[in-house]
Amino acid sequence: MEKAIAIQMKGITKRFGEVIANKDADLDVRKGEILALLGENGSGKTTLMNMLAGIYFPDEGKIYIDGKEVVIRSPRDAYNHKIGMIHQHFKLIDVYNAIDNIILGESFYFDEAANKAKIASLKKPEGNESRKEKFKRNIKLLAARLEKAGAYIKFNWLSRNRGEDIRAIADKYGFAIDLKKKIYDMSVSEKQTVEIIKVLYRGADILILDEPTAVLTPQETKRLFDVIRNMRDDGKSIIIITHKLNEVLSVSDRVAVLRKGEHIATVNTAETSETELTEMMVGKKVVLNIDRAEPKNPIDRLTVSGLSLINKENVKVLDNVSFTARAGEILGIAGVAGSGQRELLEAIAGLQPAATGKITYFKPESNEAVNLRAKTPTQIREMGVRLSFVPEDRLGMGLVGNMDIVDNMMLRSYKKGKFFFVDRKKPKSLAENIIKSLEVATPGTNIPVRRLSGGNVQKVLVGREIASSPTVLMAAYPVRGLDINSSYTIYNLLNKQKENGVAVIFVGEDLDVLIELCDRIMVICGGKITGIVDGRSATKEEIGLLMTKGRQMEQSPSTVGQRG
Amino acid sequence: MKSTEKSAREPFFQIVKRDNLVWWKAWLIRAAAVISAFLVCGIVSVILTKRGFGSFYVSLFKGVFQTERRIWNLFQNISLLLCISLAVTPAFKMRFWNIGAEGQALVGALASAAIVVYFGGKVPEALLLVMMFGAAVAASVIWAVIPALFKAQWNTNETLFTLMMNYVAKSLVAYFINVWVTSGSGVLGVLKFGHFPAIGGYAYLLNIIIVAVLTVLVYMYLKKTKHGYEVSVVGESLNTARYVGINVKKVIIRTMVLTGVLCGIAGLLLVAGTSHTVATNTVGGRGFTAILVSWLAKFNPLYMILTSFMVVFLQQGAAQVATDYRLSNAFPDIIIGMFFFFIIACEFFANYSIKFRLAKKEKKA
């Protein structure tokens, strides 16, 4: 039997400047079902859900709840429509305990409409009233007007006494949690539980969970899914945003697939398969026409073997990573965001001193092997290793947003020369060169880089990194947020470096680009290398599968693409 | 339907960040703020003194410029405040919130006073001054570097640390005064030795020249040197500093050494150039006022000349108003408070503009 539709989104479009996050997307959620929202990074899943949660407002399109059109302007509106979202980054107050965090916002529950109606009815005298009646009515009117203030005052009392109600909710759905515990003492999964209880306590019937399992261990994930199933059986609608196929198949009733902001299809989980979902998720191959020359004389330039890294949160972000980057070749790295790409590049660049394993660089002049692990960026430079790195966070790491273009040019080279004073002449001419050759749109060289548009910022950064004539060039998401033309400028720059014999490592998210640009593509999943494929023969489905269900696959030499 | 939806969700006014305000417009806004501050201060003083509107301004300016002595006082005070402001600026540019300049300058003053107490009259005056300089700088550097070391090594909070060091410095001064002053009065009288030579008969001229030179030097340091460049990179983004291989710990410690040197010089100026004694209140809150001076000038040493002038002018002028009309000595603080309220508020308008809904709407990106 078809269940009733709880929420329907129709023709939703959302733009951020030039970028279209959602294009004419439709979605419907039924009562008492678990809907998985599946899509690659940047396919607009979170944006679409944020519009339900009142964080963004759609540019076009309509939202219906129980068949009635609604306008959701703010998170408060969303709550009033009984929609609750559990964000990827928890919004809890560390020094409060679980109850206090859940109670926060209780005042939203003051029924303003009823109060207003009461006041209005008390304002009108009932026929002929005596003085005494009038006095009584006015007292009641005054009391009604004070009710709102009373609701706020009661807040403190609530935080002490409402614990039982919250306990009841937790027990009903089977959450195991100590509600008196302070947030700062809690594990990630406990924090998530608090977020979920908070949303339930406020009476949400529709719960949106944004990548809920990204931070959980397999056991915690299993427990979470049990709770989610309990909630479904209670008649609630649950939307899970995810890109993990195995989870989709194990927990959801239906799957909605988004690709590049568009709704591709919604299918019943029971009637679909991993292959079908992957195909919908990554789409058909798009021809981009990026020139790809055959690598000339590819020799090993950088070898990484057995690299592991445990981060500050005690999570193993890199697990026994081994690969080789060759001169005159572009090595692509594919993977879901946060699979360890950033840490891998930072470890090579000398920014992750805790890494274990081997990072060996072969000098182009003598083919002498140099160890790069546990060296600082300065040491690496002093050893004569020309390693350039275009980090993912352009303005937070690669450049200084408040400094002008000239000062940003100096970041790498300011130490040159024996003088105590900095030389700004060379960086200035370099800046002028880059502006001219890469067509950076800027009023001048002395403008803070944060005022430039994203594409121009990236040109400045890539231009600087290439200017030091590197032998290894690492670029993390260099075209993220860039328009088509700027993207092609970057692809051409990378290709030129490759032709000059540079070993290029390119971390990308668009599989079409990876397949068209790279000579070999290494797929990383959960800090492990799940395969290295040939860029000329690989298919998107193949890479997509390696990206999502790599945990079950063992890395074997046969998956390493051997180029002839 | 569509349009009502839109107007219902747009707020009545929006605060929009201005990105490129022409420099003269920004200065026009600031000038307007100064003028309105003057007017409001005048109105407040009329209410308090019940005198004419003009008399406040007359007293204010008389207090600063009436006599030659007052003018010298003005410059002398500016030089001291500016010197300490210069000291805190490099660290602030690095986002190291040193609020312990008071204590750092005070130990410098104590060290130079100690040299006078123990060596005054026993060595030639010039040598004595050199020794005072060395002792003051050494003491202040120690005082400034301790929190920096802890910050670099264990990432302790520098604000609390430097603040607490102030109290230690004060107690040290109180202790040494008790040691030196055997009469038990608890006041160290005017020291007979270790005075700066009066250049051309002007007692404070050397102070002013020293600080003027320091201002230019610090400006050059921050703008033109590799060290200054590193300081701004560390201040703007630790991640970028890491990425280009700047040794952040080293930069923190080196910059706080510089702060110590400058605070030491300020302590020397206080003892050798101005007070010729030391007491727990010798620095007189300048260590804290310096933060305001430095911040208002956006950490630019040349602008700091202007902001320190403004602070000292108001302090001195308002103090005169308070004496003239027998107001409490909280009056100067009120005036300064109101003034800076305006100045700080005007920075908001220089950075943001307010757009009302009724006005022409910009299409939201």
User: Residue holding tokens 């009392």?
Assistant: A157
Tell me what pLDDT residue B84 has: 96
Of the partner residues A381, A397, A421, the one whose CB lies closest to the CB of residue B239: A397
Contact B226, B246 (CB under 8 A): no
B144 closest CA partner among B62, B20, B36, B263: B263
CA nearest B233 in A: which residue? A400
Q: Provide the number of CB pairs (under 8 Å) joining chain A to chain B.
A: 72
CB contact under 8 A, A412 and B244: yes
User: Residue holding tokens 């003053």?
Assistant: B109
Residue B3: pLDDT band with limits 50, 70, 90: very low
Tell me what pLDDT residue A76 has: 84
User: What's the whole-number mean pLDDT along residues A21-45?
Assistant: 87
Tell me what pLDDT residue A109 has: 56
Q: Which of A182-186, B19-23, B128-132 has the lowest mean pLDDT?
A: B19-23
Question: Within this chain, do residues A288 and A382 fall inside the same structural domain, yes or no?
Answer: yes
In angstroms, the CA A125 to CA A122 distance is 7
- Distance from the Cα of A312 to chain B's closest Cα (Å) equals 16
Q: What is the ipTM of this complex?
A: 0.80
Q: Is B8 on the interface with A (CB under 8 A)?
A: yes
Give the containing element (helix H, strand E) for A301. Answer: strand A300-310
User: What's the whole-number mean pLDDT along residues A487-500?
Assistant: 90
Q: Which amino acid is at A103?
A: I
Question: Within this chain, do residues A373 and A409 fall inside the same structural domain, yes or no?
Answer: no
Q: Is residue A488 part of a domain?
A: no
CB contact under 8 A, B239 and A410: no
Q: Is the pLDDT of residue B232 over 80?
A: yes
Q: Is residue A183 part of a domain?
A: no
Tell me what pLDDT residue A557 has: 38
> Tell me, what DSSP letter sits at residue A553?
S
Question: Within this chain, do residues A364 and A293 fall inside the same structural domain, yes or no?
Answer: yes
Q: Is residue A14 part of a domain?
A: yes
Question: Within this chain, do residues A369 and A407 fall inside the same structural domain, yes or no?
Answer: no
CB contact under 8 A, A17 and B365: yes
**Count of residues making up chain B:** 365
Token pair of A463, please? 């231009």
Contact A35, A209 (CB under 8 A): no
Chain B neighbours among A 347-406 (CB < 8 Å)? 349-351, 376-381, 389, 391, 393, 396-403
Chain A neighbours among B 224-253 (CB < 8 Å)? 224-230, 232-233, 236-237, 239-240, 242-245, 247
Tell me what pLDDT residue A67 has: 87
Strand arrangement, sheet containing A262-268: A83-86, A206-210, A237-242, A34-38, A254-259, A262-268
- The number of folded domains in chain A is 3
In angstroms, the CA B201 to CA B319 distance is 27
Name chain B contacts of A377, Cβ cutoff 8 Å: 242-245
Coil, helix or strand at residue A362 = strand
Q: Is A312 on the interface with B (CB under 8 A)?
A: no
Name chain B contacts of A343, Cβ cutoff 8 Å: none
Is residue A562 exposed (0-12), middle (13-18) or buried (19+ Cβ within 10 Å)? exposed
**Of A260, A283, A306, which one is at a domain's C-terminal end?**
A283
Residue A152: pLDDT band with limits 50, 70, 90: low
Give B40 or B186, the one with higher predicted confidence. B40
Chain B neighbours among A 89-128 (CB < 8 Å)? none
Question: Within this chain, do residues A274 and A289 fall inside the same structural domain, yes or no?
Answer: no
User: Which residues, at least 6 apart from A124, have a Cβ–Cβ distance to it below 8 Å?
Assistant: none
CA nearest A376 in B: which residue? B245
> Tell me, what DSSP letter sits at residue A183?
G
B177 closest CA partner among B109, B125, B121, B130: B109
**Of A232, A257, A283, which one is at a domain's C-terminal end?**
A283
Encode pLDDT of B251-295 as tens digits.
Answer: 999 999 999 999 999 999 999 998 899 999 999 899 999 999 999
Question: Within this chain, do residues A71 and A5 fall inside the same structural domain, yes or no?
Answer: yes
Q: Is residue A55 part of a domain?
A: yes
Tell me the percentage of chain B whose pLDDT exceeds 90.
Answer: 57
Name chain A contacts of B240, Cβ cutoff 8 Å: 396-400, 411
Question: Within this chain, do residues A300 and A436 fall inside the same structural domain, yes or no?
Answer: no
- Distance from the Cα of B253 to chain A's closest Cα (Å) equals 18
Encode pLDDT of B58-78 as tens digits.
Answer: 888 988 898 988 999 999 999
Residue A184: pLDDT band with limits 50, 70, 90: confident
A187 closest CA partner among A92, A64, A253: A92
Contact A308, A352 (CB under 8 A): no
Q: Is residue A103 part of a domain?
A: no
Of the partner residues B9, B226, B230, the one whose CB lies closest to the CB of residue A73: B9
Of the partner residues A71, A402, A411, the one whose CB lies closest to the CB of residue B244: A411
CB contact under 8 A, A376 and B237: no
Tell me what pLDDT residue B363 has: 43
In angstroms, the CA A563 to CA B3 distance is 60
Token pair of B223, please? 């703008």
DSSP, residue by residue, A405-441: HHHHHTTTTTT-SS-SBPP-HHHHHHHHHHHHHTT--
Encode pLDDT of A408-456 as tens digits.
Answer: 999 988 888 778 888 888 999 999 999 998 888 888 888 889 888 778 8
Q: Is residue A397 part of a domain?
A: yes
Let me know the angle formed at the C-alpha of B169 by B163 and B172, rounded to the nearest 5 degrees.
Answer: 150
Tell me what pLDDT residue A552 has: 43
CB contact under 8 A, A422 and B365: no
Q: How far is CA A100 from the centre of its chain?
A: 29
Burial A136-154 (b: 16+ CB within 10 A, else e): ebeeebeebeeeeeebeee
Encode pLDDT of A95-106 as tens digits.
Answer: 988 888 888 766
Residue of B6, B226, B249 to mutate, interface with A, max A Cβ within 10 Å = B226
Question: Within this chain, do residues A313 and A378 fall inside the same structural domain, yes or no?
Answer: yes
Mean pLDDT over the full length of chain B: 88
User: Which residues, at least 6 apart from B223, have a Cβ–Cβ distance to it below 8 Å?
Assistant: none
A547 closest CA partner among A362, A339, A259, A363: A339
Contact B281, B72 (CB under 8 A): no
Contact A22, A12 (CB under 8 A): yes
Mean pLDDT over the full length of chain A: 85
Half-sphere exposure of A194 (CA within 13 A, CB side): 30
Q: Is the pLDDT of residue A278 over 70?
A: yes
Token pair of B35, please? 């003028």
Of the partner residues A17, A376, A420, the one whose CB lies closest to the CB of residue B245: A376
Q: Is the pLDDT of residue B364 over 70?
A: no
**Of A283, A313, A330, which one is at a domain's C-terminal end?**
A283
Segments forming the whole domain that contains residue A519:
284-386+472-477+504-564
CB contact under 8 A, B243 and A422: no
Question: Within this chain, do residues A323 and A408 fall inside the same structural domain, yes or no?
Answer: no
Encode pLDDT of B291-328 as tens digits.
Answer: 999 998 989 999 999 999 999 999 999 888 888 888 88
Q: Which of A84-93, A156-165, A312-321, B285-294 has the lowest mean pLDDT?
A: A156-165
Of the partner residues B236, B243, B247, the one whose CB lies closest to the CB of residue A351: B243
Q: Is B9 on the interface with A (CB under 8 A)?
A: yes
Contact B80, B207 (CB under 8 A): yes
Question: Within this chain, do residues A242 and A380 fall inside the same structural domain, yes or no?
Answer: no
Tell me what pLDDT residue A151 has: 65
Q: Is residue A172 part of a domain?
A: no
Residue of B221, B224, B244, B249 to mutate, interface with A, max A Cβ within 10 Å = B244
Half-sphere exposure of A175 (CA within 13 A, CB side): 23
Question: Within this chain, do residues A355 and A399 fall inside the same structural domain, yes or no?
Answer: no
Encode pLDDT of B118-160 as tens digits.
Answer: 998 899 999 999 999 999 999 999 999 999 999 999 999 999 9
Q: Is residue A102 part of a domain?
A: no
Specify which of A77-81, B28-32, B215-219, B355-359 reaches the highest per-range mean pLDDT: B215-219
Specify which of A153-162, A256-265, B220-229 reaches the highest per-range mean pLDDT: B220-229
Name chain B contacts of A71, Cβ cutoff 8 Å: 5, 8-9
CB contact under 8 A, B226 and A378: no
Residue B365: pLDDT band with limits 50, 70, 90: very low
| CATH label of the domain that carries residue A297 | 3.40.50.300
Q: Is the pLDDT of residue B112 over 90?
A: yes
Question: Within this chain, do residues A308 and A435 fall inside the same structural domain, yes or no?
Answer: no
Coil, helix or strand at residue A403 = coil
Torsion of CA A191, A194, A198, A200, to 10 degrees: 120
Residue of B95, B155, B240 to mutate, interface with A, max A Cβ within 10 Å = B240
Give A27 or A275, the one with higher predicted confidence. A27
